[in-house]
């Protein structure tokens, strides 16, 4: 298992970093591929619970957001969403069965949740200094998660949400906060020294890291809720040693919009 995890990471990490450095359509394509695979896993989880969802409409709802953001055509989002609402309603009426209304709502919710989460990762990368902020925000989540895992595994006594994710503890969560704050400050300072980006300061990196470490675990809990209801450990087995794509991006879906919002409050464009 450990060998598989290391091998998968060795293949995927350079791919992610390369696309992030290139930006533009290379990054949009990689994010969109991850979202499309996560949407397929999301649908599979819900199928286990008896929900019947059109994969085509779900994927359309997911992928429309990152491409509209990449094309800077966000004004088309609301008309497009309304069209998708109608198409999904028509599909559910044509394939009427048990839980049809819930399936309709879950199709739309999945499309918006996954699609907007990925779209804001693209928008964050497109901001001034967006490359450096992305290279701060994304590693912060991984570092904070690793700190929470190792400290929680060794000293975790007080469980956060045992019914959803029994291994996560408040001790681990505290370690994640410290890891997020310190890694955010260190990464921002390093990238500032490398790039000279004026907005990229250690205190802003620390604040961003602390915020992400505090909030992004909710993304993990949210996906765990679906897996718990479906009775599975992982969303799929697409990534050897790591589970599914949804498992890997569940927290990252919160990173883009949280980082973008904080940067906008600081005066970023």
* Angle of CA points 37, 28, 26, to nearest 5°: 110
Dihedrals φ, ψ of 75, to 5°?
-65, -25
Of 191, 267, 246, the closest CA to residue 45 belongs to 246
Quote the percentage of the chain above a pLDDT of 90. 72
DSSP letter at 247 equals H
CA 256 from centroid of its chain's CA atoms: 8
Q: Which comes out higher in pLDDT, residue 177 or 166?
A: 177
SS3 169: strand
Q: Residue 1: its pLDDT value, please?
A: 57
SS3 159: strand
Cα 156 from Cα 173, distance rounded (Å): 9
Dihedrals φ, ψ of 156, to 5°?
-70, 120
Q: At what angle do helices 170-195 and 202-215 cross, to 10 degrees?
A: 150
Q: Lowest-confidence range among 15-19, 103-107, 213-217, 264-268?
A: 264-268
Quote the percentage of the chain above a pLDDT of 70. 99
Residue 2 has pLDDT above 60, yes or no: no
User: Each residue of 83-133: pLDDT tens digit?
Assistant: 999 999 999 999 887 889 999 999 999 999 999 999 999 999 999 899 999
Can you count the helices (H) and strands (E) in the chain? 11, 2
Mean pLDDT of the residues in the chain:
92
Cα 100 from Cα 182, distance rounded (Å): 47
**Whole-number Cα distances in Å, 92 to 17, 180, 212:** 40, 43, 37
Of 246, 244, 242, the closest CA to residue 223 belongs to 246
- Considering 34-43, 69-78, 88-97, the range whose residues carry the highest mean pLDDT is 34-43
Whether the CB-CB separation of 123 and 260 falls below 8 Å is answered with yes
Could you tell me the pLDDT band of residue 73, with boundaries at 50, 70 and 90? confident
**Whole-number Cα distances in Å, 119 to 13, 72, 77, 247:** 20, 11, 12, 18
Mean pLDDT of the region 253-260: 96
Residue 269 has pLDDT above 80, yes or no: no
User: Each residue of 236-245: pLDDT tens digit?
Assistant: 988 887 889 9
Whether the CB-CB separation of 98 and 47 falls below 8 Å is answered with no
Cα 148 from Cα 140, distance rounded (Å): 12
Could you tell me the pLDDT band of residue 268, with boundaries at 50, 70 and 90? low
Cα 46 from Cα 58, distance rounded (Å): 12
Which residues, other chains included, contact 203 with Cβ-Cβ below 8 Å and sequence gap of 6+? 185
Residue 204 has pLDDT above 70, yes or no: yes
Which residues, other chains included, contact 221 with Cβ-Cβ below 8 Å and sequence gap of 6+? 160, 161, 164, 165, 168
Residue 222 has pLDDT above 90, yes or no: yes
* Angle of CA points 130, 134, 135, to nearest 5°: 120
Cα 144 from Cα 175, distance rounded (Å): 7
């Amino acid at each position: 298992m450990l060998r598989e995890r290391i091998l998968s990471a060795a293949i995927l990490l350079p791919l992610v970093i390369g696309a992030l450095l290139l930006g533009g359509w290379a990054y949009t394509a990689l994010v969109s591929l991850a979202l499309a695979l996560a949407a397929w896993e999301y649908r599979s989880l819900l199928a286990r619970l008896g929900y019947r969802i059109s994969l085509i409409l779900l994927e359309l709802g997911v992928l429309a957001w990152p491409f509209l953001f990449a094309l800077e055509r966000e004004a088309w989002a609301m008309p497009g969403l309304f069209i998708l609402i109608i198409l999904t309603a028509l599909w559910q009426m044509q394939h009427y069965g048990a839980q049809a209304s819930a399936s309709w709502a879950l199709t739309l919710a999945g499309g918006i949740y996954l699609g907007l989460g990925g779209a804001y990762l693209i928008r964050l990368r497109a901001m001034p200094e967006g490359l450096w902020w992305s290279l701060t925000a994304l590693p912060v989540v991984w570092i904070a998660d690793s700190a929470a895992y190792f400290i929680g595994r060794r000293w975790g006594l007080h469980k956060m949400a045992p019914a959803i994710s029994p291994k996560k503890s408040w001790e681990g969560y505290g370690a994640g906060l410290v890891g997020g704050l310190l890694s955010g400050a260190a990464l921002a300072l390093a990238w500032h020294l490398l790039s000279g980006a004026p907005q990229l300061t250690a205190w802003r990196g620390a604040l961003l890291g602390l915020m992400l470490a505090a909030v992004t675990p909710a993304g993990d809990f949210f996906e765990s809720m679906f897996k718990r209801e479906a009775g599975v450990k992982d969303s799929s087995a697409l990534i050897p040693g790591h589970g599914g794509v949804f498992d890997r991006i569940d927290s990252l879906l919160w990173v883009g919009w949280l980082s973008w919002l904080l940067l906008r409050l600081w005066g970023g464009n």
